[in-house]
Amino acid sequence: MAMTLTLDQILAALEKTDTLDGLQTATEALRTFLGVAHIVYHWVDSAGDQYGCGTYSPEWRSRYLDQNYLRVDPVVSGCFQRFHPVDWKRLDWSSKAARALLTEAIDHGVGNQGFTVPIRGPNGQFALFTVNDNCTDDAWQAFTQANRRDLILIAHYFNQKALEFEPGRTPEVAQALSPREIDAMTLLAIGYNRAQVADSLSISEHTLRVYIESARFKLGAMNTTHAVARALSRGLIVV
């Protein structure tokens, strides 16, 4: 079968997709198009849920979830700290857990080469788009250099599509924090206690409490630490 698929066609197909299964199909098509072993789109959810579509074997996928490899995967933590796409070779595999993960992944047919594009959306949404293959370093570098831009674009479109499917993504957005609440959360996040925060904001500690409590309410948080964590992971404050 001749290769007639183009990037344009794939992106157009993505735009027309109206089910999650559509993403799965697009992923398969993409693999053929790019000529790599695997393509994975992986949404790392703030609630610890994960959604992904891709071409990894079901065994590996469930193994990854069961073992909570998310916690030790250098691809996840490495990409979380970076903006630009990353070649797996450039990540930190020094920890034993990480090396064990890699070995096991290769055993599951993941391939020895990988390239992952981090993607971020509103409310601290974070996702990964990965391609990988089994080949030499040189071949892989040539591939990633040649396709870098397309991969960035594809990752972008995948995420856009995935966000459209996300249920209840919009309602939470409405609850923005007021300026004072943001101030309070920010100062708490940098380690100030209530007395220090109140002092920094030149308000009474009593007033501060009102802000903290209303922020907690808006964020659906059970306590201050929770509220700050949510504000952070939703990108409402930055430290």
Partner DNA sequence: TTCCAACTCCCCAATTATGGTGAGGCCCCG
Partner DNA sequence: CGGGGCCTCACCATAATTGGGGAGTTGGAA
What sign for the dihedral angle of Cα 33, 34, 36, 39? negative
Q: Which residues is 43 bridged to in the sheet? A: 51, 127
Select the binding partner of residue 210 from a copy of itself, DNA, none (C-beta < 5 to 8 A, by kind): DNA
**From the CB of 119, what's the least distance to a copy of itself, in Å?**
9
Select the binding partner of residue 204 from DNA, a copy of itself, none (C-beta < 5 to 8 A, by kind): DNA
- The first and second tokens of residue 112, run together, are 């020895």
Select the binding partner of residue 29 from a copy of itself, DNA, none (C-beta < 5 to 8 A, by kind): none
Select the binding partner of residue 191 from DNA, a copy of itself, none (C-beta < 5 to 8 A, by kind): a copy of itself
Give the CA distances from residue 192 to residues 137, 184, 200, 236, in Å, rounded to whole numbers and listed in that order.
48, 10, 9, 18
Do 93 and 130 contact (CB within 8 A), yes or no?
no
- Considering only 112, 123, 200, 207, the residue that binds DNA (CB under 7 A) is 207
Q: Pick the closer one to a copy of itself by CB: 35 or 235.
A: 235
Q: Pick the closer one to a copy of itself by CB: 38 or 161.
A: 161
**From the CB of 172, what's the least distance to a copy of itself, in Å?**
10
Considering only residues 167 through 206, tell me which ones interact with DNA, judged by CB under 7 A.
178-181, 193-195, 201, 203-204, 206
Select the binding partner of residue 207 from DNA, a copy of itself, none (C-beta < 5 to 8 A, by kind): DNA
How far apart are the C-alpha atoms of 188 and 51, rounded to whole Å? 32
70 binds DNA (CB under 7 A): no
Select the binding partner of residue 103 from a copy of itself, DNA, none (C-beta < 5 to 8 A, by kind): none
Q: Pick the closer one to DNA by CB: 55 or 224.
A: 224
Q: Pick the closer one to a copy of itself by CB: 48 or 167.
A: 48
Do 113 and 135 contact (CB within 8 A), yes or no?
yes
Residues 6+ apart with CB under 8 A from 137: 89, 113
Do 42 and 68 contact (CB within 8 A), yes or no?
no
**Distance from the Cα of residue 144 to its chain's centroid:** 20
Alpha helices, DSSP H, located in the chain: 7-16, 20-34, 58-66, 74-80, 96-107, 137-165, 179-189, 194-201, 205-219, 224-233
Q: Pick the closer one to DNA by CB: 103 or 193.
A: 193
Q: Pick the closer one to a copy of itself by CB: 37 or 91.
A: 91
Q: Which residues bind DNA (CB under 7 A)?
A: 95-97, 178-181, 193-195, 201, 203-204, 206-207, 209-214, 222-225
